[in-house]
Amino acid sequence: KFSYAHRLGFGSGNPTGKIPLGLKRKGLRIVVTGGAGFVGSHLVDRLIARGDSVIVVDNFFTGRKENVMHHFGNPNFELIRHDVVEPLLLEVDQIYHLACPASPVHYKFNPVKTIKTNVVGTLNMLGLAKRVGARFLLTSTSEVYGDPLQHPQKETYWGNVNPIGVRSCYDEGKRTAETLTMDYHRGAGVEVRIARIFNTYGPRMCIDDGRVVSNFVAQALRKEPLTVYGDGKQTRSFQYVSDLVEGLMRLMEGEHVGPFNLGNPGEFTMLELAEVVQETIDPNAKIEFRPNTEDDPHKRKPDISRAKELLGWQPKVSLRKGLPLMVSDFRQRIFGDHKVGST
């Protein structure tokens, strides 16, 4: 809609619409909020590799500089320490809006801040998208389905969410973020995309973020028992991070608003997951049962027909293939380089 020169304010004095010399660039200018986090940093790697210019906006609540440090010094990469709850002026073509803690342990730590990040943070990034005519992608979550009464979950399902529970800051926050996204689309003509992401794992996850895959892998490596919450019969579907990043980029570049479920339909009980971790790391790892957390969804599995049909996307990496890739990263971070490759 707008040329980059227009966005920088050069448009009005330049009736030819030509980009002034020195401002020509290859690729797009893209902001990734939450780009120093787990998913964001893998997305940044792909965008930089494609030749785009990437601005990461992150307050480092759960993200780490180490996740993006390999891009320092690259003129196509910028890192801004900024909290999306505060307004931000930038000139960009696309906004991938990921900023938000994703692990229950992190998002429950300061629930009001989680809501502010989801609501005010998303509002600000939509305001930015509106101002500069950028395309905006929201990373929503399978948690919008709550403790689902439909299985597997289709995008048409409205969900079963407790509005006053300990998970609500995240679930309801993301639901409101989806609402805001659709209202900016309908009301202000902002080009938007919505992804509903299902449990994702891979290298660079926070080691102690409390999510089940990172917990089990770290526990098995440290020779601690795997902590299974409740009876371990609840299910989740685990997606490897490279599959998710591919889906997010296809969604952004495609013509469809969504929402789209992005997840791996392979469904595992937590006990089955523990078995896969045992097979991969340590067959002698013990299992220890712990009381479950409040409002824990009993099952979760995406119906991905819509993404298959409209984005031509489906996950490629099975849990048994993806887990070892994460294990080598965790081993390196827990024990240091000298243990890499050893078991």
Is 62 one of the binding residues for ligand NAD (CB under 6 A)? yes
Contact 13, 19 (CB under 8 A): no
Number of residues that bind ligand NAD (CB under 6 A): 28
- Residues of this chain, 128-157, that bind ligand NAD according to CB under 6 A: 139, 141
141 is in the binding site of which of ligand NAD, ligand UDP, none (Cβ under 5 to 8 A by kind)?
ligand NAD
Cα dihedral: 183, 40, 235, 173 (round 10): -30
Instruction: List residues bridging with 270 in a β-sheet.
Output: none
Active-site option among 96, 107, 145, 170: 170
59 is in the binding site of which of ligand NAD, ligand UDP, none (Cβ under 5 to 8 A by kind)?
ligand NAD
Among 92, 128, 138, 327, binds ligand UDP (CB under 6 A): 128
Stretch that binds ligand UDP, among 46-54, 61-69, 261-269, 289-297 (CB under 6 A): 289-297
Stretch that binds ligand UDP, among 45-53, 57-65, 86-94, 333-341 (CB under 6 A): 86-94
Is 227 one of the binding residues for ligand UDP (CB under 6 A)? yes
Q: Is the CB of 190 or the CB of 213 nearer to ligand NAD?
A: 213
Cβ-in-10-Å burial (0-12, 13-18, 19+) of 3 comes to middle
Confirm whether 170 is a catalytic residue. Answer: yes
What string of H, E and C letters represents the secondary structure of 139-171? EEEHHHHECCCCCCECCCCCCECCCCCCCHHHH
∠ CA 113-114-116, rounded to 5°: 60
Q: CA–CA distance from 222 to each of 77, 319, 334 (Å)?
A: 36, 21, 8
- Comparing CA positions, the residue from 16, 3, 212, 204 lying closest to residue 103 is 212
Is 259 one of the binding residues for ligand UDP (CB under 6 A)? no
Q: Cβ–Cβ contacts within 10 Å for residue 131, how many?
A: 15
Is 189 one of the binding residues for ligand UDP (CB under 6 A)? no
Is 83 one of the binding residues for ligand NAD (CB under 6 A)? yes
- Comparing CA positions, the residue from 185, 172, 330 lying closest to residue 257 is 185
- Residues of this chain, 86-105, that bind ligand NAD according to CB under 6 A: 98-102
Amino acid at the residue 322: G
Is 242 one of the binding residues for ligand UDP (CB under 6 A)? no
Q: Active-site residues: which are they?
A: 170
Binding residues (CB under 6 A) for ligand NAD: these are 33-34, 36-40, 58-63, 83-85, 98-102, 117, 121, 139, 141, 197, 199-200
